[in-house]
Amino acid sequence: MTDQPDLTSSIPTGSTPTGSTPTSTAPTGDTPAPPDLFTWEFATDPYPAYAWLREHAPVHKTRLPSGVEAWLVTRYADAKQTLADNRLSKNPAHHDEPAHAKGKTGIPGERKAELMTHLLNIDPPDHTRLRRLVSKAFTPRRVAEFAPRVQELTDQLIDRFATEGTVDLIHEFAFPLPIYAICDLLGVPREDQDDFRDWAGMMIRHQGGPRGGVARSVKKMRGYLAELIHRKREALPDTPAPGEDLISGLIRASDHGEHLTENEAAAMAFILLFAGFETTVNLIGNGTYALLTHPEQRARLQTSLAAKETGLLETGVEELLRYDGPVELATWRFATEPLTLGGQHIAPGDPVLVVLAAADRDPDRFADPDVLDLSRRDNQHLGYGHGIHYCLGAPLARLEGQTALGTLLTRLPDLRLAVDPGELRWRGGLIMRGLRTLPVEFTPVG
């Protein structure tokens, strides 16, 4: 779970996406023209284009498919500085946006559903206050206590398809696992969790779903969360039980002087759910795909798992996050004053997007950055962000990624792609990077 949900500005279905527009950051002279960005070809493999930008235009102004102009930051050093720069606000109110761009820099439907007051859209001191309220739910100790439930969910999902010999790992495994896990953590009753799966599915399929489907799903989720908060408040015991769910904890904090409004509580629950599932879907999906297309690394990991070792699994998940992580671009930031990034002058109100996928393959920071090495040690990747907006749920994401990948490779040892890699399609969203489907085959097990 991160501060990084999949937002708007995706490539529209059935259309030819726009590339980057020439700007003052484009090179001159004998340097070749900038590569096209945000095409379907780019979505399949953005890394050559990011390598070009790192070398020739490390802070590059481009027009996004939504029409919004933004600065892309691609070098590791610049990215790390930008993520921690307090002159860049998370609050969309600082965006000097023309009328046509309003609503194109956030989660679809969040404005109408009054869900704007969450961790992705606020700055200190409100960010500090709200983050403190939920941080205790994601401590290493609390996550460790949750590990048996994550393992149970993982095994249950594999049990459903283990006898079939084939499955789409995205829809039947990578997608439901984090949904059910975060619902359990929040305190959504088991009988209601399939509704959340449906709403979340609409969000993650926003390109292929009905027009307005994302906004409707957000509205339904907002209504349900408001009702759930009311019901839990009515039934809340005087003293918390061990392992109390997160929504009850938010209510308790609100009722004991933390000044958490109903909208803030609903927005907090919403963003934890929304940010907490798609990142893990993509971590599992991208990670499995990387392992299946790097057989030597996959064999190393399976040998390690067979010996009951955990070290390579732990470093391996970090390497998968760096190599082809679930979050391609960090979420929106807006300049609150004039500043300079990578030699470029950023005006107040300008949107800035840190390209985590580019920074994490910067050869000035990582040796052989385009090589997948599960045993890589010096791996301070930015996949979970940096600074005060560092991923709140990183411990849970690591647990889910390690459990899912380790269990898959152990229980289905001959797992393999069921299609040619060239047939796979990547979702075209701006922020997230993930496969639409991942068909695999394996020897059926009873």
Residues 365-388 have pLDDT tens digits of 999 999 999 999 999 999 988 988
**pLDDT at position 19:** 40
22 contacts 34 by C-beta, under 8 angstroms: yes
The pTM of this model reads 0.86
Q: Give the least confident one: 18-22, 191-195, 412-416.
A: 18-22
Across 9-22, average pLDDT: 36
Mean pLDDT of the chain: 83
Q: Give the least confident one: 16-20, 128-132, 166-170, 329-333.
A: 16-20
- Would you say residue 58 has pLDDT above 70? yes
**pLDDT at position 287:** 98
Among 74, 61, 67, which Cα is nearest to 105's? 67
62 three-state secondary structure: strand
What would the pLDDT profile of 173-198 be if each residue is shown by its tens digit? 999 999 999 899 889 999 988 888 88
Q: Give the least confident one: 28-37, 89-98, 250-259.
A: 250-259
Q: How far apart are CA 334 and CA 349, in angstroms?
A: 6
Rounded percentage of the chain residues whose pLDDT exceeds 70: 80
**pLDDT at position 381:** 97
247 contacts 186 by C-beta, under 8 angstroms: yes
Across 17-34, average pLDDT: 49
φ and ψ of 167, to 5 deg: -165, 155
| Sheet strands side by side (includes 351-354) | 59-63, 69-73, 351-354, 333-335, 88-89
Q: How far apart are CA 316 and CA 296, in angstroms?
A: 13
**pLDDT at position 106:** 52
Q: pLDDT-based confidence at 260, cuts 50/70/90?
A: low
**pLDDT at position 12:** 33
What would the pLDDT profile of 221-255 be if each residue is shown by its tens digit? 878 888 888 888 888 888 888 778 888 877 777 65
φ and ψ of 233, to 5 deg: -65, -40
- Would you say residue 112 has pLDDT above 60? no
- Would you say residue 444 has pLDDT above 80? yes
Among 225, 327, 236, which Cα is nearest to 271's? 225
Query: Between these two residues, 145 and 129, which has the higher pLDDT value?
Result: 145
- Would you say residue 109 has pLDDT above 80? no
